[in-house]
Amino acid sequence: MTDIVANPIAANTGFHRTEAAEKRLRRRYAAEQRFKIYGIIAITLAIGMLVLLLFTILRNGVTAFQQTAIQLEVTLDPAVIDPKGTGNPADWDRAAFQDLVHDALYKEFPDVSRGDRRELRRMISPVAGVFLGNQVLKDPSMLGQTVSVWLPASDPINQIVKGRIDRELPEANRPVSDQQLAWLDQLRERGDSKTIFNSTFFTASDSNYPELAGLWGSVVGSIFTLAVTLVLALPIGVAAAVYLEEFAPKNKFTDLIEVNINNLAAVPSIVFGLLGLAVFLNFFGMPRSAPLVGGMVIALMSLPTIIIASRAALKAVPPSIREAALGMGASKLQTVWHHVLPLAMPGILTGTIIAMAQALGETAPLLMIGMNAFVTAPPTGLLSSSSVLPVQIYIWADAPERGFVELTSAAIMILLIFLITMNGIAIYLRKKFERRW
Amino acid sequence: MEAMTMSQTVDPGAAAAGKIVKMSSRGTKVFYGEKRALHGIDVDIYRNEVLALIGPSGCGKSTFLRTLNRMNDTIDICRVEGKLMLDDQDIYDPKLDVVQLRARVGMVFQKPNPFPKSIYENIIYGPKLHGLATRKDEFDAIVEASLQRAGLWNEVKDRLLEPGTGLSGGQQQRLCIARAIAVSPEVILMDEPCSALDPIATAHIEELIDELRENFTIVIVTHNMQQAARVSQRTAFFHLGDLVEVGETEDIFTNPRDERTQGYITGRYG
Amino acid sequence: MPIQLTVAVLLILSAIGYWIGRQRAMSVSGGRVASLHSVPNYYGSFVAVWAGIPALLLVLFFLMLKGPVIEMLVLGAMSPDAVLSWAKASISPNDFQALSTAGIAGADALAETQRNLMMINIRNLATGQERFVNPAVVDALLPAAQHMQHLEATSRWSLFAICMAIAAGALFITHRKITPQFRARNNVERVVTWGLIVCSVIAILTTVGIVLSLLFESMRFFARVSPVEFLFGLQWSPQTAIRADQVGASGAFGAIPLFTGTLLIATVAMAVALPLGLLSAIYLSEYAPRRVRDTVKPVLEILAGIPTVVYGFFAILTVAPFVRDMGVALGLPVSSNSALAAGIVMGIMIVPFVSSLSDDVINAVPQSLRDGSYGLGATRSETIRQVILPAALPGIVGAFLLAVSRAIGETMIVVMAAGMAANLTFNPLDAVTTVTVQIAALLTGDQEFESAKTLSAFALGFVLFFATLALNVVALRVVQKYREKYD
Ligand SMILES: Nc1ncnc2c1ncn2[C@@H]1O[C@H](COP(=O)(O)OP(=O)(O)OP(=O)(O)O)[C@@H](O)[C@H]1O
Ligand SMILES: [Mg+2]
């Protein structure tokens, strides 16, 4: 070795203990610290957003479980309700209930002039008559009597009472007039107004009126849709996974299937909606808005997820088990059916539940096949018009009335509860059946 | 065991020969979680010598090597007890800076691990970090010097900008050695540097180690008895987490004091 | 004869078949079950499978083809008079004039749109939903409706009869085949294996279905609007055509503003998601203590599990007003549904996706490279920035491409938070619209049959599908190459 080339290295011997090196080291540590802080900031931001999202939903949503009600003394005049006098509820004049409600309201505030009655009427829900009608239907003996009933207040009043609209705002900026506020305060003083549990939210279906709108229809719709998805996607997905993992020869064709499955998993969901619209609705002429079609579209979407999860579960079963079964003279199919599949089942189920949770939140493809129809009753079958939970959320998020903001948030809370439960079950299953071979 | 001061050495003969202690270990114990991998190692490493660590697989050679520049810090469950010194600095002093320590005590690994960068960038990676040079010509000089030292210069001087991963295994290992030298460390730790190499490349590296001794202190782990005999001045024999004996390489190979050492070097077990 | 009943009877027959097969196997074995080639259950399955599956497949086939075939027959049998009197009441006077002077032979003379409209009327009549039908055409369409009812009823009955014949025939033949030597198990297993293959092929069929349906409908669109105008036009306003006879002249279908809008929002989203996702992944895999990693990772996964409709609502409720207020505070004009707000929320949605992909990629970088760097006295961040990230770059690029594909295919967030206005702009403070928003808008609500407007959604879907497909294929390739490098 020549001296010249040995120089730079030897010259630096001891450099690491010099003042200059120490100084540089401090700078390097400062950079290190900064970099670490970027990471912490990134995580904090991401989690902060999650917290903000959940908090926003919670804050906006909790009030939806309460509904402001007003107590009125309603005189249920049979001549008005049952003008034909048949006594058959089918012949009742449903619109008359609202008039009775209004009359009761005028009685409650006898000094209100005729001119102000319009404003007074706006205190009570425009569909209070429906609630009254339902009560009378349940208990026809009320007919002909004067009863005291709690009826929902109108949406603006409801929002004021819950503090979702600030009553200190200038009159022009709020949907409730000073006069109405005064009436409201009178009612409250008399104990004729309070907030009650909003059971409608859990029992009714969609409506144009927030007081009358509920989640039940779309929950049933989601259950029907997911049932179809599950019935189609689980067996097909598992069968495909079993074939690809246990039987398929390694050739061009199975490669093609594999590539296909991987790509399908990344196709935008709305494209599946287009597929459903073009093939199921337009070509095969299936009905719009039906849980059957929705379930089929989502089944196609979920298939890749289920196949991939099932294959992973099958792969985790050690070959020794197959060898043992085959060695005892079982056929390949028997081996898979009796030994491999049962062992892989927890993994498959976990994957399936996760796929179902995704399916439950799926919205865009269902819009394409018309599941955003305005449906005021739960579906009665797989072919009847229906909405689903996330689509209901979308529809309500679009609605102009103030009351729908809280309903949307509450619906999201319910949806998230379903999702958390499903994922919780999946995690539990995974933990419980986690196996070290 | 009684605490020792640093002036006491475990090998009085060497001290008498006027050798300077570069690194020393007293009662070093290493734990992986609950499991103890080293049971108390006492050894001195002298400046400008090559110390070979030999012993059966799993006896803790790599573990000991990694405690010398605190590479064990990267393993969560690893814990070190005892006193380890570099010159007059305590290696495990919480105030000590690992980055500086590793700049002074470089390491070459069993499997060549060049970065997926060009040969040139592989070499200047360390010097750039530590600010050993600032100008292009200084870097060029470092690259040439290190590659010369590692005996790789003639093979790669025309393709310095090609990826280091494109070299042969032996060349890659020499690149890693060059990379370690470029930082101008005081000590170089080598963990079975030749285990993946053919005899010619191995011979190359052995030659190199002998030359490097002039500027550096070297600790090398090897499974190859001949190699230990060829390159090292002193040899330490490890067994099941204990340092069985350490001494002049010649003595260890011709006249081992412990029968376990005897058994190992004559190939009765290992 | 409702089809459900046919299916139910078939299932019952199949179950009976199982029992018969078992019994038969027992009796031919003369009580020595061991002398049979397969266990008796397989003989049962053998009979059940052949009694059930062919007929059930026929039912499926029938369900798929019944609608189109019956329509064809009904239309084919309609008299010119009936068609003309329907047309008189239903289509524009000009069209009717042209139609009647040309002299027609039947329903074929109608344009496709008109024929579909008439078919809907007939179907409503046939299913007793007269209230949806213009009373003026009821009389003219009644014969066709009755014809349809008749065909429906006949076809169902014949289906039932044929299915029963097939099932019974299968029962008879399979029953006779059962002997102790007969390899029932092999037969059943062959059928099952074919079933498995069919199930795997469904993935391919789905892709083929997507490609064909998009291609088919896009072709019809491009028959009305030139592909050049669609791909390079700068003006998008599909909303003009109201009446069917305006179709050719309707609207402007230049999709460039949609493409730029999509890219703008995707860019904002990636500008949020990439740094957040990558830095989180780096922190979690290189810095965070195990305990932190084990808690933060699932929390980020929650972010990934939230349905996009929820993000959309979050965008309109919180983020968009916040962005607008910030703009006002800074004196900037911010649209109330700015690309920025939609992009930010979409970015948050994609963060966990980017971070989990990057996490995989970073963990795939071998420990030996880290050791090499630390061994030279590098700090953690130096190692990460100068060794790990460059080594992981291909994988990160792959993850990035997958995330972009996600962003441009995402629908609900933009449907709710971005606008409908097809502005050609790169200013993130303006409102833009995206491909997915337009697809959703064009296909929800009232659709006009066969109009360029409706069909344009499929052309957009076509572009979207192939753009995301290309991104995915490239990304998966890149990631796979990367994996192989370090395996
Ligand atoms: N990261 C680790 N975690 C847990 N235990 C470890 C770890 N690394 C090493 N060990 C244990 O420590 C002991 C010593 O290992 P070490 O790698 O030091 O042996 P070695 O002498 O280098 O062996 P070889 O010659 O095979 O390289 C072994 O029992 C090993 O199992
Ligand atoms: Mg080792």
Highest mean pLDDT among A130-144, C173-187, C371-385: C371-385
Whole-number Å distance between alpha carbons of C420 and B60: 69
Residues 6+ apart with CB under 8 A from A102: A117, A121, A124
Half-sphere exposure of C187 (CA within 13 A, CB side): 20
Query: Do A15 and A29 lie in a common domain?
Result: yes
Query: Do A44 and A171 lie in a common domain?
Result: no
Strands (E), A153-210: 193-197
Judged by its nearest atom, the ligand closest to the C-alpha of residue B58 is 1
Give the pLDDT confidence of A307-351 residue by residue, as tens digits: 999 999 999 888 888 888 888 878 888 888 888 999 999 889 999
Whole-number Å distance between alpha carbons of C459 and C241: 18
Q: Please compute the mean of the pLDDT values over residues A287-295 and round it to a whole number.
A: 91
Burial (0-12, 13-18, 19+ Cβ within 10 Å), B185: buried
Query: Do A69 and A186 lie in a common domain?
Result: yes
Residues from chain C that touch A364, judged by Cβ atoms under 8 A, are 308, 411-412, 415, 436, 440
**Integer CA distances (angstroms), B44 to B15, B19, B41, B50, B84, in order:** 10, 10, 10, 12, 10
Which position has the token pair 């196609």?
A300
Tell me, what's the pLDDT at C251?
74
Query: Do A279 and A396 lie in a common domain?
Result: yes
Number of domain units in chain A? 3
Tell me, what's the pLDDT at B4?
42
* Domain housing A112: 65-205
Query: Do A150 and A229 lie in a common domain?
Result: no
Burial (0-12, 13-18, 19+ Cβ within 10 Å), C81: exposed
In a domain, A210, yes or no: no
pLDDT of A382 strictly over 50: yes
Angle, in degrees to the nearest 10, between helices B169-182 and C367-375: 30
Higher pLDDT, residue C443 or B268: C443
**Integer CA distances (angstroms), B133 to A5, A21, A318, B118, in order:** 15, 11, 56, 18
DSSP character at residue A353: H
Q: How many other C-beta atoms can be found within 10 angstroms of the C-beta atom of residue B163? A: 15
Tell me, what's the pLDDT at C246?
46
In a domain, A87, yes or no: yes
Closest by alpha carbon to C431, among C277, C278, C324?
C324
Closest by alpha carbon to C210, among A252, A239, A360, A280?
A280
Atom of ligand 1 nearest to the CA of B61: 21
Query: Do A227 and A263 lie in a common domain?
Result: yes
Residue type, position C404, single letter: V
Query: Do A75 and A143 lie in a common domain?
Result: yes
| SS3 category, C361 | helix
- Number of helical H runs and strand E runs in chain C: 19, 2
Interface of A with B in 16-45 (CB under 8 A): 16-17, 20-22, 24-25, 28-29
- Could you say which of C290, C372, C387 has the minimum Cβ distance to residue B109? C372
pTM strictly above 0.90: no
CATH code: domain C252-486 is 1.10.3720.10
Closest by alpha carbon to C348, among A48, A104, A171?
A48
Tell me, what CATH number does A257's domain have?
1.10.3720.10
- For residue B109, how far is its CA from the centre of ligand 1 (angstroms)? 14
- Could you say which of C366, C374, C387 has the minimum Cβ distance to residue B74? C374
Give the pLDDT confidence of B204-235 residue by residue, as tens digits: 888 888 888 888 899 999 988 889 999 999 99
Whole-number Å distance between alpha carbons of C243 and C96: 15
Query: Do A56 and A84 lie in a common domain?
Result: no
Atom of ligand 1 nearest to the CA of B77: 3
Element of type H or E holding B108: strand B105-108
Query: Do A264 and A365 lie in a common domain?
Result: yes
Tell me, what's the pLDDT at A321?
87
- Give me the helices (H) in A14-85, please: 19-61, 78-81
- Give me the helices (H) in A278-340, please: 291-316, 319-327, 332-334
Tokens (6 digits) for B107: 């390491």
Whole-number Å distance between alpha carbons of C466 and C456: 16
Tell me, what's the pLDDT at C139?
78
Whole-number Å distance between alpha carbons of C389 and C396: 8
Which position has the token pair 């069968």?
A239
Q: Does residue B209 line the site of ligand 1, with CB under 6 A?
A: no
- Partner residues linked to C252 by β-bridges: C237
DSSP character at residue C180: T
Q: What are phi and psi of B262, to 5 degrees?
A: -55, -50
**Residue A9 and residue B148: Cβ atoms within 8 Å?**
no
Whole-number Å distance between alpha carbons of B210 and C249: 88
pLDDT band at B12 (very low <50, low <70, confident <90, very high): low
Which position has the token pair 């003042």?
A19
| Range scoring the smallest mean pLDDT among A80-94, B164-178, C224-238 | A80-94
Tokens (6 digits) for A374: 């305005």
Whole-number Å distance between alpha carbons of B46 and A119: 100
Tell me, what's the pLDDT at C383?
94
How far does A351 lie from chain B, in Å, by closest CA?
A: 32
Q: Could you tell me what percent of chain C has a pLDDT over 70?
A: 95
**Integer CA distances (angstroms), C310 to A232, A271, B60, C435, in order:** 27, 20, 56, 20
Tell me what the pLDDT averaged over chain C comes to: 85
Whole-number Å distance between alpha carbons of C109 and B267: 99
Per-chain residues with Cβ under 5 A from ion ligand 2? B 62
Domain boundary at A155, A176, A205, which? Answer: A205
Give the pLDDT confidence of C197-247 residue by residue, as tens digits: 999 999 889 999 999 999 999 999 998 888 998 999 888 888 654 444 544
Tell me what the pLDDT averaged over chain A comes to: 88
Tell me, what's the pLDDT at A436?
57
Query: Do A274 and A376 lie in a common domain?
Result: yes
In a domain, A211, yes or no: no
Residues 6+ apart with CB under 8 A from A179: A116, A119
Do A266 and C468 form a contact (C-beta atoms < 8 A)? Answer: yes
Whole-number Å distance between alpha carbons of B172 and B169: 5
Query: Do A268 and A354 lie in a common domain?
Result: yes
**Residue C378 and residue B126: Cβ atoms within 8 Å?**
yes
Mutation site, A29, A43, A225, interface C, largest C CB count within 10 A? A43
Q: Please compute the mean of the pLDDT values over residues B35-58 and round it to a whole number.
A: 92
Element of type H or E holding C411: none
Tell which one of B59, B67, B242 to mutate to probe ligand 1, the residue whose CB is within 8 A of the most ligand atoms: B59
Whole-number Å distance between alpha carbons of C192 and C48: 13
| SS3 category, A58 | helix
Query: Do A361 and A242 lie in a common domain?
Result: yes
pLDDT of B114 strictly over 90: yes
In a domain, A263, yes or no: yes
